[in-house]
Amino acid sequence: MIAREWKCQVPEVHSEGFTGYLHETGIKDSTATPGFLGAQIFRRSLECKVELTLITYWDNLASIKAFAGDDISKARLYPEDEVYELEPELTVQHYEVIEHQLSSKLQG
């Protein structure tokens, strides 16, 4: 399994709206791609901004390429990102998942 990590920052005022928009764009497109295994979004408050980290999980690099295009190190951005004053990282990181455990309390 491969984890794909992307980060961005948005002004606090746009945090909730952008999270919904992220579901309607990146999460929706990921979910529709064969080989997608799941996703997590992390939120961290900064001074007047919010940092969001999106981790998506994939069965292999070919599946990521089907979602992201030939250069899987480039972030996949969307036309309306600027509405949210998005400060995106333009590259993503990929990790081989070597351990995966969730407590039953977190799984359902």
pLDDT of residue 108 exceeding 60: no
Query: pLDDT tens digits for 47-93?
Result: 999 999 999 999 999 999 999 999 999 999 999 999 999 999 999 99
Q: List the beta strands (DSSP E) in 1-108.
A: 2-11, 36-45, 49-58, 87-88, 93-96
User: 55 has which bridge partners?
Assistant: 5, 40
- In angstroms, rounded to a whole number, what is the distance separating the alpha carbons of residues 79 and 96? 30
- The residue with greater pLDDT, 104 or 93, is 93
Contact (Cβ atoms closer than 8 angstroms) between residue 45 and residue 9: no
Strand 93-96 vs strand 2-11: parallel, antiparallel, or unpaired? antiparallel
For each of the domains in the chain, give its residue range(s) and CATH number, in order of start.
2-107 (3.30.70.100)
Between CA 39 and CA 14 the distance in angstroms is 21
This model's pTM is above 0.75:
yes
